[in-house]
Structure 1
Amino acid sequence: MPQDDAQLAGAKAKIASLEEEIKYLRAALPESLSISTTAAPTVIVAGHSVQEEGYEEVILLAVIMFMLMLWMVPFLRPFRYCCETRLHKVYPAITLINLLIFAVTLNQLCRISFNDVFFAIVKLFDVFLDSIEQVLIGISALFAIGIVWKFKDRVFEVLGVENAAAVFGDFRDWATCWSMRRFHPMEIVIWKVEGLPSARLHSPNDVFCEVSFGYNVTMKTRVHHRAGHSCTFKEALQLNFDPFDAERRLTLCIKSQEVIGDIELAKLQMGAEQVREMEEPDDNYDRSLVRGSMPESAWSSGRFRCIDLVPAGKVYLRFIPVSEDSKGCWESLLRT
C-alpha cells in the first residue's frame, strides 16, 4: 500500500540519520574514552598463553640486566688485571656493544617502542626527583632542629630566660627522670684576685665575681668599689655539682660594675674533670672560719689554688664538698 511504503521509507531515513549521528559522536570522542572490545594479543610460552606486552617487558628487563652485567665485567677478578689499565678503551667499547644490543632488542619487539622506553625513563626520573625532594626537605628540617637545639641556650638568653639549661635538660636528665641524686653540693671559696686589667683609664675597677655552672642559677658576689687591679673577696658560693658531667663548664667571670651594665675583665673556664681533681676531701675542711694570718687559718695561702685568668690576672680558689645537713663555712660566724 502506498501509505505503508511511505512510512517505511520515512523510518529508513530516520535510521540512516541516527547512524550518521552515532558515527559523528564516536569520531568526536577522544581515543582514551573509546571502548575497545578487542582482546589483548597473547603469545604461547612453555605451553601457557601470556600477554605479549608483558612478555616483551620481561625480555627488555632481562636485556637491561645483561647490559649492566657487561658494564661490571672489567671489575671481575678474571678480567680486572688486564682491564684496569685500559678502562678508557674498554668502557667505550662495552657502551657501543650495549647500545647495539639495546637497538636490536627494540627492533625485534612489537609492542614496545623507543618512545615507550624514553617516557618510562622520564617517569622514573620524575619519581626519583620527587623522592629526593622529600628526603632533602626532611634532612633540612632535621638540620634546622639540630641548629636550634645546639644554640638553644643563646636563643633563650636573647629571650631573657636566665637558666636555659634547666628548660630542656640533657640525656642524663631524661634517663634518670630528672632525679637530682647524681648531684652533690659543693662550695666555691674565693679568696682574692690579682693582676686584673683596667676597665677605665680615669677610675679604678669596681670588681665583683660572677659564677655559672650547669643548671645552677648564676651567682654573684657583692661589688667591691674602687678595688682596682686586685680585690680580696673572702666569699663562698654553694652550687650543685655533677662530677660526671663532661659537657657543662664552670665559668668564673671577674667583672667591673658600670653605671649601665658591666664590663668583663677576666674569665676562667673549667671542666667537670678539673673541678673534681681540685675538690678537697670532705674531712679536710675546717668549718671554723678564722680571719687571721696563721697557717692553719681558713684563709691562709696554702689552702688555695692559684689559677690564671684569661686574658690576665690570677684568682685563688678552693672547692669544698658540703654535706646536706651543713650550713656551710659561715655557720661558725652565725653562732658568734
Structure 2
Amino acid sequence: MRPNARRTTLADIARAAGVSVATVSKVVNGRGDVAPHTRTRVQELLHQHQYLAPVFRHSEAEPVDIPTIEVQFQGGLRSYVAETLEGIIDSAAELGATVVVSKATHAPHWARDLVAAGRRAVIAVTSVYTAAHLNELARSGLPLVVLDPLHLPDSRVHSVGATNFAGGLTATRHLLSLGHRRIAYLGGPSMAVCNQARMHGYRAAMEAEGAKVPESYVRPGEFTYATGLHGAAGLLDLPEPPTAVFAGNDDIAVGVIEAARARGMRVPEDLSVVGFDDTSLAEMASPPLTTVRQPLREMGGAALRTALRLANGETIESHHIELATALVVRTSTAPPREEP
C-alpha cells in the first residue's frame, strides 16, 4: 500500500456489502452470529480490499496502539449488566480496542496493578467507588467512566446515564392515564442517584395529578427480585393497598408480579406493574412487562467511546452524558378493577 493511500475501513466494506458496520466487525472478529452467505460476501470484500484489522496495521513510523480498557462490575451478572457489557464489547470491536471484564475487588494497589497490566482506562458498571478509590485512580493516571452511577459522581469522574427523572414521570403518567390513583413506588437504594431521580419523577407526576402519595407507598430496597417479592408483600398487606406499582427496575417488577400471583391476584386485572430498564427479562415476564426502556447497549457504547477519548488524553467538556428513555407498553398494565 502506498504511504499516502487511504486505508479501507469497516464502513467501506459495510457499504460495499450492503450490511451494517457491526456485521462486518463480527466477521472480522470471528463471531458466529452472521448468516453464511453474508459472511462469505464480507470475507470476499475484505480480501479484495486487502483490509487489515487494527491489530495488524503497523509500520516503523506508526507504531500500533491498541488501547485496553478494564470493565468492572459488582454483584451478579444480571440482565442489566449483560446488556450493557454487550454494548461495550460491540463498540470495542468496531473501534479496534480491547476490553477486559472483571469483578470489582479494590484490593490494595489495584489501580497500580491495572496500569502494570496495560490498562488505559476503567469503565465501572454497578460498581461503587469511594474517595479513596478515586484518589488511587488519579495517582495511577487511570481515567474512570461510570455507567448509571449509584452516587453523585466526583468531578474527576465521567459518567453515562439515562433520563431517569423523565422515565419515572412517563411511567407514572401512563398508570394515571389508565385511571389508577393508588400507585406505589418500589425502588432501589434510597441514596442511589438513579433511584432518587425515578422516584422524583413518580412524585412529580402524582402531584401534578393531585393524587396522594402515602408514606407507606414509597419503599426503597435493592435493585433485585427479592426486593420486589418482599416489598410488594408489604404493600399488598396495607389496609388500602395500591392498584398499581411502579418498580425501580425490571428485576423488582418481576418480583412484584410473583408476589401478586402468590396471593391469587392477577396482573394486570388486579394489579398493574411497570418496570424500568427494558432488559430481556421484561419480554420474558408473564405477563410481558410494561417498562421504561433505558438504551443499555447504546449507553455501553457511549461509555467505551468516552473511555477511549480519555485514554488518548482528550479533554471532554461534559462530565455526564444522558441518553433518552422511552416507555414500552406491554400487557402488565390495564385500567384498575372497579370497586364493588
Q: TM-score range by the shorter chain?
A: under 0.3
Point out the structure with max Rg over C-alpha.
Answer: 1
Greater strand content: 1
Relative contact order (alpha carbons < 8 A, sep ≥ 6): 1 or 2 greater?
2
